[in-house]
Every structure is written in structure tokens, then in C-alpha cells.
A and B are shown apart, each in its own frame.
Chain A
Amino acid sequence: MAADLDPAERLRRYAELAVRVGANVEEGQIVFIAAIVEHAPLVRALTRASYAAGARYVDVTYRDQHVRKAMIELGPDEALEHTPDWLKTRFHHLKGNAYIATTGDPEPELLSDLDGERVGRAQMKELTEIVREQMTARAINWTGIAYPTEGWATKVFGEPDVERLWEAIAVCTRLDEPDPVAAWREHMTRLESRAADLNRRRFDALRYRGPGTDFTVGLLERARWMSALFRTASGREYLPNMPTEEIFTTPDARRADGVITSSRPLALLGDIVEGLKLTVQGGRIVDVEAKHGAELVRGQLASDDGARSFGELALVDGTSRVGRTGITFYDTLFDENATCHVAYGFGIPETFEGEPCEGMNVSNVHTDFMVGGPELEVDGLTAAGDAVPILREDTWQLPE
């Protein structure tokens, strides 16, 4: 059990899982790591594990939320969206290499006293563009992995109990299994077979019904359901997210109508969005309401034309290890695996075979928010108009 592991050994196993199963680093690759400066202990373990896996070089950029805060608060307008040339050069080199990003905000509310509009604008769009191109070309084997910090633990538990957060993460990422690598293999096989089943059924649309939600969204003939077991163009398997419990697809950006309400808080741009309620007409979000943080979402939606349409639908049932911890992690990497979610913004190229104008959304934004829970009913709608239950009371309804 993970709880019996000493912290150094646990960190070593965790880093090894991220390097060997997550990014699946290949001998001779450069491993790029992007991390918050507070994540240094994990980054050091990832670096050791990467060299052990045969990395040619491990190239780390640490970012600092406090430096970012100073920029948003005190910097000139032009600083907000500026991408330094050297950083662009670096990101062009991701091609053919491995990339690991860490999450786990040490101070989730650090930016909450700032002008939300400036916070929303402060993004290196050119960098996002470069990464997007390379992901579209499936040129990188990459993964995201979380690091527990005091600030994050406080947000989750009301006290800086990092150890408790570590234990929850160890459960979610199957570090508590005797053989985590084998456990991951088994888990991914199950998700793969669910995706294959949905692909065989060829639903025309999904319908979501629950508290504050009555939403129908079209599916694309040329988009398939898949698990987060990805392959690069050269055939290398990798898991972009650890944990992952979802199967997902890219919806038809042109066909969505109704009202959809978030079922869990959403950590966004250093703040928390609560009670998000989106009204959708003809595939576009036409109204945004929230108990808190609506302006952050509005700022994002205004950032480009595609931001207002949907790019992802994901289904998660009650067997999710993340869901079963009962914890809201205030971190999308985890929370999106607790329950069903949707995302506005960029579609998922891996799921789609065709030109983007054939229904896949294009945007520099991709924000997931949770809509699932025991009260949510999800149905598949056939072209003939029949409704087939997929989820009821968090239980998968299709035969497995």
C-alpha cells in the first residue's frame, strides 16, 4: 500500500510511472518538463527517472505564479500576451520528443484579487498555438501529472495536510497497487472496450438531463470515442493524463442546444468558478451565469471565435477512483476524471478524422467543466430518434 511507502520511495515510483507509462519516454529523446517552482521535488524525481529511461537531456522550465502575478498586476498591456522568442524556439523542439507537465496549484487563489479580465488575457497564445500544432501532428509523447502542495491541500481539506492529499493521489494513480504498471494496463483495456462499444453504436447525439441541465449535443460521424491511451504518429503509446477515467469524443461544434450546469467547482486561471450555467443555441454559448467567476469564463469565451463552441464530451461512471475518493481536488486533471464533463473550445484532434471545418471546433481555449453525478442521466440518441440509456445513477448502462 502507498501509505506504507516511505515518501522518497513513493515519489520515486510516482515519477517512474509518469515517465514509463505516462509520457513513455523513449531512449535518446529530450524530455521537456514544465513545472511550477514549488514542484521542484517532483521535477527532480522525474529528471532522475527520465535519465534512467535513457533520455538524452532533460530540459526543465520552472514557472512562478508570483512572477506572473507581478506581470498581471504591474506589467504593461503588451506583456500579457507576449511570448519570448527563445520560448517559441524551445517549444518548436518538442517535435519528436517527450513532454511532461506538472499540475497542483500551490496557491489556487493567488490571482483572485486581480482584474479578472487581465488574468484571462495573460496567456502566451503563440505558445499555445505551437503546442497545438504539434499535438495535432501527434508529434509528442506527453503527460500531465500532479504534485501535492500545502496550498492545494488546504484548498481541498481546509488544512495543509499534504500527506492526506498524497494518499488520495496515490489511490487515483494506482500507486497503491502492488504492480502499478500492470494495474494501469488492465484499467486502460476496460476503458478501450467501452470506447469501442460506443463507436459500434454510432449514436447521432447525446442528451444530458439533470438539475439545471437539459442539453442535447450532436456527434460527428468522423469522430470516434477513445480512451486517453494515445499514440504518436510514429506509433508510441502514451497517457496524456494520469489519472484518467474517461472516454471522450469531439462533438459537432455546430449542433448543441439547451442549458448545461456545472456540478462541481472549476479551478480556472487562478480562481474558482462556481455554479457555472451556460445557455447554448445552435452550437454557440449565448449566455454565461455563475455564482462566482462568470467574468473569467466570459473573458475566455471572448478570446477567439471558436471559444464559444464545444470541443469535448467525456463520460465517467461511478467506478472512477477519483470519483470514489469523494474529493473535489480543484484541479481539472483530477476533477474531470471524477465524473462526466464537457469542454468548450478546441476539439480533440486524436478523435477526429477530417478537416476541422467538418464539425470539429478550433480555438486556443479548451476548458473542461464537470456536469456529472448521480442525478445526471445520459442517453445516446440514434438517428431514428430512439434514446438508449448510457448512465443512470453513476452506473454504466451498456453491457460490458
Chain B
Amino acid sequence: MTTNRLDRYAELIVRVGANVQPGQTLFVTALVEHAPLARALSRAGYAAGARLVDVRYVDNHLRHSFIESAAEEVLTETSSWVMARAEALEGNALIMIAGDPDPELLADLDQERVGKARPVDAMKRQLRAQNELKLNWSIAAFPTEGQAQQVFGSPDIEPLWDAIAHTVRLDEDDPVAAWKQHAARLRERCVQLDMLELDALHFSGPGTDLTVGLLPGARFSGGGLTTVDGITHVPNLPTEEVFACPDWRRTEGTVRSTRPLQLGGTIVRDLEMRFEGGDAVEVTASAGADAVKGQMAIDEFGSRLGEVALVDGTSRVGQIGITFFDTLFDENAACHIAYGAGITFGIDGLEGLGPEDLRDRGINVSAVHTDFMIGGPDVAVDGITRDGTRIPILREDTWQLT
């Protein structure tokens, strides 16, 4: 790992990802193992004019002790200072570093407690600010030995670095310019899709014949978001998708996943589902089906869709052919859908609406959101307009709209 690459990466995350503005506080959330990137981000943050870079290190080993030892009622508590930090996010910038150095660390614990242990109120507060576009934020990965082991079967992080660098376009002469171009292309796709005023998307391929109903006036997002203050940012590095929120009541048919899915330490393979009236009434897999069913059972709406996303064969993540075992990357390899919470970025007029109001509008509300890949060269995607006209969107992984 060269310092130069790390600094270039940090600069990309700060300038393009979170797009930190002069005078903003830059909040960074990182694992202790991510310290080299957190440090580079703090330098890049100040260079971009941040008034303060506030790094919060999380240590999964402490989390292990916490889950093992803390009283039941403490597991879901939000302390006043954690809440105060979540409240301070509004109007500022946030960078979250992904990349699990030790994916098996919590495997020996009571998984129900693992699932419960989170500062619920603070997480809701942060999600609300994100959904209401009140902060500019980004998630980017730092390669760790643990992830390298999982992906390549060896703790050598260099190949993982190369893979990440390629997917986030660090291998371009001018990554910032490359991103501007890439993001503009994704935004252009959203415009193309929005102009069609689609009622549904249809996926067909081996094991797949799925219709996903969209919300009336559905808008596609991709290539970044713009805050209420007008700050354009790219929430995920890399990103290759354009996505929309489906109507949780209107998914019909069967779907077969095209790539393995990593789910809390379990690998789910050959996942298949059958939907009726929006509900996944049948879930099978050659491995890990129980993990999916367990997750869907967390609440009444876990088995209904909250996202549909389109990715074509130009995706760098897809081209590289690696399963990263990290949604940040893997969801960008191919078209995907997510069961669970509806993704509401870009939908206007939702401020202050409660769960029931959102569901009335067709937006799913759930504690779960899990993406899985359903696209590939054999899967054709059509748009269906309100009058039933079918418009080809993807054929053999190639974008059909102009």
C-alpha cells in the first residue's frame, strides 16, 4: 500500500463521496483497524476546508464484550451523548468506513442479542437525516486482512486493494474527473427512466419471471444525491446502480439470485423466491435459506420489497468478477432487489410521515434491508408503462435506452 494511493483515495472520498464543504464538520465513523484511512481522511477533510474532523472509532471487540455481558435493556439503549452526536450530523458531512477485519468475530454469540444490540434511537435519528437529505455523506471501504481472507483465501490485502482501487476508479489518471463523468452517465439514465413514467419493471431469465410494481411517479436515483442545501454527494463508493422504491404491494412472480449473498456470517447460495401480492411466499436456497427467512421474519414487512436497482455490464464491480462479501460492492455487480425497508431518497413530500402513512403510499417500512443480485447477461429487463407497453431496458447486460 503506498501512501500516495491512500491519500488519493481519501481525497476522492472527501471531494466526490461526501463532498465536504468549507466550514462543515466532517464526522468519520471507522473501526480501529481502519485508522490509516481515517487519518488520511482527516488530512483530506481539513484540506477541503472542514472546520473540524471528528473521528469516532468503533471497536468490534468491545461490541463482543458488550453483547456478551450487558443487561438485556442496555443492548438497545442510546446514551444522551451518542444521541447528541447523531443530532449534530445535520448540515454537516459524514463518512463511514466499511470493511470488516474479522467477519467471524461475533459468530460465537447469541445471534438474537447480536441483532438487537444497537443504539436504536440514534440510528433512527441518523437515518432520518439521511432520508431527508440533511447531510452529505458517503460510505467507502478500507481493505483488511479479514476481508482479503474471505475474498481471496489469503490475508494478503494487496489484491483486495487493487480490486477496490479499480472499482472506485482510483486507477484513472484523474479519478475525480472520471467520477464526474460516471455520475453524469448514471444521472442521465435516471432521466431516461423517469421520462418513460413506468408502472413496473419486468425481469426474465433462467428461474426468473418477476414483475416489480413501481410507485406512481416513481423517480430513479443514481450517480449521487443532492442535499436540501444543494450539496451533491455520492453516498456509496463505488456505485454503479440506478434505483427506485417499488410498491411493496405489487411484486409478482419468481426470481432466482445470480450471485451468492453474504448475510451476517452466512453465505446464501442459489436463493429463489416466489412473490404473491408483494409478499415472498416461498423462499428456497441450496444453502442459507434459514438466514433469509429469519431476517424476513423480524417484522411483518420484512418479506416485501423496498428497492429495485438496475446495473449493466459496464459495471466495474461486475466486470472484475469478484464476490466481495460486502453489499457496498456486491450490489453494484448486477441488477438487484432488496427485501425490507423502502429506499426513499429522492421521494419528495415524506417529511414527518409515520410508518402507516408511508405504507399507505406504497413505501415499505421494516427494520430489514437486504439486497441480493438478480441480474446478469441472461436476464432481460423491460419497463412496462401504464398502458402495458413493454420497453426493453437491458439485453445481454447492455443498456438499451438512449
- What residues make up the interface of A, taking CB atoms closer than 8 Å to B? 37, 40, 43-44, 47-48, 51-52, 56-62, 64, 66-67, 70-71, 73-76, 78-79, 82, 84-87, 89-90, 93
**Interface residue ranges of B337-371 to A (CB < 8 Å):** none
**Interface residue ranges of B29-63 to A (CB < 8 Å):** 32, 35, 38-39, 42-43, 45-47, 50-57, 59, 61-62
Instruction: Report 10 cross-chain contacts, Cβ distance below 8 Å, ordered by A residue.
Output: A40-B32, A44-B59, A51-B65, A67-B53, A70-B43, A73-B46, A85-B84, A89-B80, A90-B79, A90-B80
**Interface residue ranges of B51-93 to A (CB < 8 Å):** 51-57, 59, 61-62, 65-66, 68-71, 74, 77, 79-82, 84-85, 87-88
| A60 and B53 contacting across the interface, CB-CB below 8 Å | no
**Interface residue ranges of B285-300 to A (CB < 8 Å):** none
For the A-B complex, the count of residue pairs with Cβ-Cβ distances under 8 Å equals 106
Task: Knowing that A47-B61, A67-B55, A71-B52 touch, tell me 5 more A-B residue pairs with CB under 8 angstroms.
Answer: A56-B71, A57-B66, A74-B46, A76-B51, A84-B88
A56 to B74, CA, bound (A): 8
- What residues of A have a CB within 8 angstroms of the CB of B46 in the complex? 70-71, 73-75, 79
| A79 and B52 contacting across the interface, CB-CB below 8 Å | yes
| A60 and B59 contacting across the interface, CB-CB below 8 Å | yes
- What residues of A have a CB within 8 angstroms of the CB of B35 in the complex? 37, 64, 66
Q: Given known contacts A64-B57, A67-B55, A71-B52, is B43 in contact with A43 (CB within 8 Å)?
A: no
Residue of B nearest to A59 (CB): B79
| B66 and A58 contacting across the interface, CB-CB below 8 Å | yes
As a 0/1 sequence over residues 329 to 341 of chain B, the CB contacts with chain A under 8 angstroms (1 = contact) are: 0000000000000
- What residues of B have a CB within 8 angstroms of the CB of A37 in the complex? 32, 35, 57
| B71 and A48 contacting across the interface, CB-CB below 8 Å | no
What are the 7 closest A-B residue pairs judged by CB atoms, nearest first? Answer: A74-B46, A90-B81, A51-B69, A86-B84, A86-B85, A62-B57, A66-B39
| A70 and B53 contacting across the interface, CB-CB below 8 Å | yes
- What residues of A have a CB within 8 angstroms of the CB of B47 in the complex? 74
| A89 and B70 contacting across the interface, CB-CB below 8 Å | no
Shortest Cβ gap from B219 to chain A (Å): 35
- What residues of A have a CB within 8 angstroms of the CB of B55 in the complex? 64, 67
**Choice from A47, A51, A75, A87 contacting B53 with Cβ under 8 Å:** A75
Shortest Cβ gap from A381 to chain B (Å): 49
Question: Interface of chain B, helix or strand or loop or mixed?
Answer: helix
Shortest Cβ gap from B324 to chain A (Å): 25
Shortest Cβ gap from A33 to chain B (Å): 9
Question: Interface of chain A, helix or strand or loop or mixed?
Answer: helix
Residue of B nearest to A33 (CB): B62
**Choice from B62, B71, B82 contacting A60 with Cβ under 8 Å:** B62
Residue of A nearest to B68 (CB): A51
Residue of A nearest to B86 (CB): A86
- What residues of B have a CB within 8 angstroms of the CB of A40 in the complex? 32, 59, 61
Shortest Cβ gap from A207 to chain B (Å): 48
- What residues of B have a CB within 8 angstroms of the CB of A78 in the complex? 51
A211 to B69, CA, bound (A): 55
| B59 and A43 contacting across the interface, CB-CB below 8 Å | yes
Shortest Cβ gap from B329 to chain A (Å): 26
Shortest Cβ gap from A212 to chain B (Å): 41
Shortest Cβ gap from B25 to chain A (Å): 8
| A67 and B39 contacting across the interface, CB-CB below 8 Å | yes
- What residues of A have a CB within 8 angstroms of the CB of B88 in the complex? 84-86
Q: Given known contacts A51-B69, A85-B88, is B53 in contact with A71 (CB within 8 Å)?
A: yes
- What residues of B have a CB within 8 angstroms of the CB of A73 in the complex? 46
Report which residue of B45, B46, B87 has the largest number of chain A beta carbons within 10 angstroms of its beta carbon. Answer: B46
- What residues of A have a CB within 8 angstroms of the CB of B51 in the complex? 75-76, 78-79, 82
Q: Given known contacts A56-B74, A75-B53, is B84 in contact with A44 (CB within 8 Å)?
A: no
- What residues of A have a CB within 8 angstroms of the CB of B65 in the complex? 44, 47-48, 51, 58
Shortest Cβ gap from B36 to chain A (Å): 9
Shortest Cβ gap from B356 to chain A (Å): 32
**Choice from B42, B57, B77, B79 contacting A71 with Cβ under 8 Å:** B42
A84 to B71, CA, bound (A): 29
- What residues of B have a CB within 8 angstroms of the CB of A76 in the complex? 51
| B62 and A44 contacting across the interface, CB-CB below 8 Å | yes
Shortest Cβ gap from B331 to chain A (Å): 30
Shortest Cβ gap from B147 to chain A (Å): 18
A64 to B35, CA, bound (A): 8
A47 to B66, CA, bound (A): 8
- What residues of A have a CB within 8 angstroms of the CB of B32 in the complex? 37, 40, 62
- What residues of A have a CB within 8 angstroms of the CB of B53 in the complex? 67, 70-71, 75
Residue of B nearest to A30 (CB): B79
A60 to B57, CA, bound (A): 9
Shortest Cβ gap from B127 to chain A (Å): 18
A71 to B52, CA, bound (A): 7
- What residues of A have a CB within 8 angstroms of the CB of B61 in the complex? 40, 44, 47
**Choice from B38, B50, B82 contacting A64 with Cβ under 8 Å:** B38
Residue of A nearest to B60 (CB): A44
Residue of A nearest to B70 (CB): A57
- What residues of B have a CB within 8 angstroms of the CB of A67 in the complex? 38-39, 42, 53, 55
Q: Given known contacts A70-B46, A74-B46, is B54 in contact with A84 (CB within 8 Å)?
A: yes
